[in-house]
């Protein structure tokens, strides 16, 4: 295990006796968070220990305000593109695990991946998250390289992120070179005995190899890394403290921590060997998790997947979440046809257009922007801009430009009217240069951004 990792884990104790903080102390922490400062571990454990409902509603409001200060009203949208469900690991909770003998297995060919990416770009998506199970022979770095090169050269997709098994520094360098934006990997659980039980075989059984993955990705040149745990495997309060401690270690070492935190919650899956009840995370708990991540690390994007039901997802957008997937399928080739085994059940089945309409209804701004990764606003630069409240200028303007493209190219007629009104209102209070850029899009220019 990386020595730094061993230190942050050994320091994590959730001693109930110590955490009985009064409301005044919590309000001091909320006030500090409004200055967009990273919170320390005693402050985070105090938030994790709040018991009163009234104080929680103040925490949710504070988190919503922090999100607006950093990213403005924009909510970024994306879709996962599942490349393979053939896996040599046996994670007890996952439909793709090797021991699921009922699984119908599939690994996409280059042509199939391009076909799916084209379908998604036709619907309006510009950013996709490539997702794959772990199989060194079928889906090693050569495979990802081929997929990324083909999707970039043959479709209008502008940025590919990736959620895949931990790799070596040399393999990460190759992925970086072919234009992968964010490398994402979830620790699943930081709790070592639970991790060992849940990952009995295959390369994922090596806890230390997974814990060190972000260091290797950064060493290879990735400045945007996506972290998370799978909530429902162990005590969520402990996991939140551990993941923030891990992030703070990266922040201290490299000058930047995670670009995003995902908050996946355990879902039913075909062939799962896990009883989901013991460490179940309620909807209310998930709201607390999102709010604490937002307050603890204000510059970090918080990502909500379609694992969650629609009503809860809408609510999470007002208390700190900043990115959301939509219209997702979790089986390889699932956008073109159903049939192969999905990883888990999806909770929100709304299409991209429905989610865009709902975000606009909530008074927020749907965004299909992909600018920062391609303009070098990553890592420490991104963190500084976000903490100085300068990022939201880019986010708001680019969201509007991406919406204009969506209206021109993909939006269904009923949504066009709603989005045009939103644009008109926002343009009236935006910078002078925006009108010219909107006109350029009307005249056929694409990928207009700042």
- Which listed range, 90-98, 120-128, 218-226, 259-267, lies at the site for ligand SF4 (CB under 6 A)? 90-98
Distance CA 376, CA 378 (A): 6
Cα angle vertex 361, ends 373, 449, to 5°?
25
279 scored as a contact of ligand SF4 (CB under 6 A): no
Provide the 3-class DSSP secondary structure of residue 37.
coil
Name which of ligand SAM, ligand SF4, none residue 163 binds, using a CB cut-off of 5 to 8 Å depending on partner kind: ligand SAM
204 scored as a contact of ligand SF4 (CB under 6 A): yes
- Which listed range, 89-97, 152-160, 245-253, 371-379, lies at the site for ligand SF4 (CB under 6 A)? 89-97
Provide the 3-class DSSP secondary structure of residue 300.
coil
CB 240 within 8 A of CB 48: yes
Q: How far is CA 88 from each of CA 16, 143, 202, 406, rounded to the nearest angstrom?
A: 40, 16, 6, 40
Q: What is the DSSP letter of 229?
A: B
Name which of ligand SF4, ligand SAM, none residue 344 binds, using a CB cut-off of 5 to 8 Å depending on partner kind: ligand SAM
83 scored as a contact of ligand SAM (CB under 6 A): no
Distance CA 315, CA 312 (A): 5
Task: Give which of 443, 327, 393, 313 is closest to 81, Cα–Cα.
Answer: 327
Distance CA 8, CA 447 (A): 42
Of 125 and 344, CB closest to ligand SAM: 344
Name which of ligand SAM, ligand SF4, none residue 97 binds, using a CB cut-off of 5 to 8 Å depending on partner kind: ligand SF4
- Quick one: which of 163, 189, 325, 398 contacts ligand SAM (CB under 6 A)? 163
H or E element in which residue 64 lies: helix 53-71
H or E element in which residue 67 lies: helix 53-71
Six-digit token string for 67: 């999100």
157 scored as a contact of ligand SF4 (CB under 6 A): no
Shortest distance, position 388 Cβ to ligand SF4, whole Å? 37
Q: Estimate to the nearest angstrom the gap between the alpha carbon of 234 and the chain centroid.
A: 20
Here's the x/- map for ligand SF4, 119-138, by CB under 6 A: it reads as --------------xx----
177 Cβ neighbours under 8 A, 6+ residues apart: none
Of 307 and 404, CB closest to ligand SAM: 307
- Quick one: which of 59, 240, 242, 269 contacts ligand SAM (CB under 6 A)? 269
Count residues near ligand SAM (CB under 6 A): 20
- Which listed range, 51-59, 88-96, 250-258, 405-413, lies at the site for ligand SF4 (CB under 6 A)? 88-96
Q: Estimate to the nearest angstrom the gap between the alpha carbon of 232 and the chain centroid.
A: 17
Name which of ligand SAM, ligand SF4, none residue 269 binds, using a CB cut-off of 5 to 8 Å depending on partner kind: ligand SAM
Name which of ligand SF4, ligand SAM, none residue 164 binds, using a CB cut-off of 5 to 8 Å depending on partner kind: ligand SAM
Distance CA 185, CA 162 (A): 8
- Quick one: which of 47, 50, 94, 157 contacts ligand SAM (CB under 6 A)? 94
Distance CA 217, CA 215 (A): 6
| Strand boundaries in 9-145, DSSP class E | 74-84, 127-132
Site for ligand SF4 in 355-384 (CB under 6 A): none
Distance CA 321, CA 301 (A): 7
230 scored as a contact of ligand SAM (CB under 6 A): yes
Name which of ligand SAM, ligand SF4, none residue 307 binds, using a CB cut-off of 5 to 8 Å depending on partner kind: ligand SAM
Name which of ligand SAM, ligand SF4, none residue 230 binds, using a CB cut-off of 5 to 8 Å depending on partner kind: ligand SAM
- Quick one: which of 133, 155, 325, 402 contacts ligand SAM (CB under 6 A)? 133
Cα angle vertex 323, ends 319, 327, to 5°?
115
- Quick one: which of 78, 93, 183, 382 contacts ligand SAM (CB under 6 A)? 93
Distance CA 76, CA 325 (A): 8
CB 404 within 8 A of CB 441: yes
Of 134 and 239, CB closest to ligand SAM: 134
Of 131 and 448, CB closest to ligand SF4: 131
186 scored as a contact of ligand SAM (CB under 6 A): yes
Of 134 and 342, CB closest to ligand SF4: 134
- Quick one: which of 96, 222, 333, 344 contacts ligand SF4 (CB under 6 A)? 96
Name the residues that contact ligand SAM, by CB under 6 A: 93-94, 131, 133-134, 163-165, 185-186, 188, 230, 264, 266-267, 269, 272, 307, 343-344
Kindly list the residues in this chain that would bind ligand SF4 in the complex (CB under 6 A): 87, 89, 91, 94, 96-97, 133-134, 204
């Amino acid at each position: 295990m990386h020595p730094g990792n061993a230190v942050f884990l050994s320091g994590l104790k959730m001693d109930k006796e110590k955490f009985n903080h009064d409301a005044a102390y919590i309000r001091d922490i909320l006030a500090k968070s409004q200055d967009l400062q990273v919170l320390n571990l005693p402050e985070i454990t105090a938030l994790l220990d709040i018991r009163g409902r009234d104080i929680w509603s103040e925490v949710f409001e504070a988190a919503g305000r922090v999100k607006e200060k950093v990213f403005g009203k924009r909510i970024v949208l994306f879709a996962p593109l599942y490349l393979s469900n053939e896996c040599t690991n046996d994670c007890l909770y996952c439909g793709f695990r090797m021991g699921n003998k009922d699984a119908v297995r599939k690994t996409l060919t280059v042509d199939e991946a391009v076909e799916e990416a084209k379908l998604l770009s036709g619907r309006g998506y510009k950013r996709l998250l490539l997702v794959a199970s772990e199989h060194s022979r079928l889906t090693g770095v050569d495979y990802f390289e081929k997929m990324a090169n083909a999707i970039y050269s043959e479709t209008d997709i502008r940025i590919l992120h990736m959620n895949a098994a931990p790799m070596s520094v040399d393999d990460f360098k190759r992925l970086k070179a072919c234009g992968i934006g964010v490398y994402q990997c979830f620790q699943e659980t930081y709790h070592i005995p639970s991790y060992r039980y849940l990952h009995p075989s295959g390369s994922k059984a090596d806890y230390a190899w997974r814990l060190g993955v972000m260091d290797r990705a950064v060493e290879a040149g990735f400045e945007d890394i996506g972290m998370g745990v799978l909530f429902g495997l162990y005590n969520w309060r402990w996991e939140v403290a551990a993941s923030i401690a891990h992030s703070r270690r990266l922040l201290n070492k490299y000058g930047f921590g995670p670009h995003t935190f995902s908050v996946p919650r355990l879902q039913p899956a075909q062939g799962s060997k896990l009883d989901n009840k013991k460490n179940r995370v309620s909807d209310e708990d998930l709201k607390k998790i999102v709010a604490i991540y937002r307050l603890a690390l204000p510059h970090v994007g918080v990502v909500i997947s379609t694992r969650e039901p629609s009503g809860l997802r809408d609510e999470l957008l007002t208390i700190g979440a900043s990115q959301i997937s939509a219209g997702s399928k979790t089986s390889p080739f699932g956008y073109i046809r159903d049939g192969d085994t999905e990883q888990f059940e999806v909770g929100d089945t709304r299409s991209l257009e429905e989610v865009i309409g709902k975000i606009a209804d909530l008074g927020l701004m749907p965004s299909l922007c992909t600018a920062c990764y391609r303009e070098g606003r990553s890592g420490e630069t991104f963190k500084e801009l976000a903490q100085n409240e300068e990022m939201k200028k880019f986010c708001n303007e680019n969201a509007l430009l991406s919406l204009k493209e969506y209206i021109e190219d993909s939006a269904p007629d009923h949504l066009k009217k709603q989005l045009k009104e939103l644009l008109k209102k926002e343009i009236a209070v935006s910078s002078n240069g925006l009108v010219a850029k909107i006109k350029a899009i009307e005249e056929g220019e694409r990928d207009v951004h700042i």
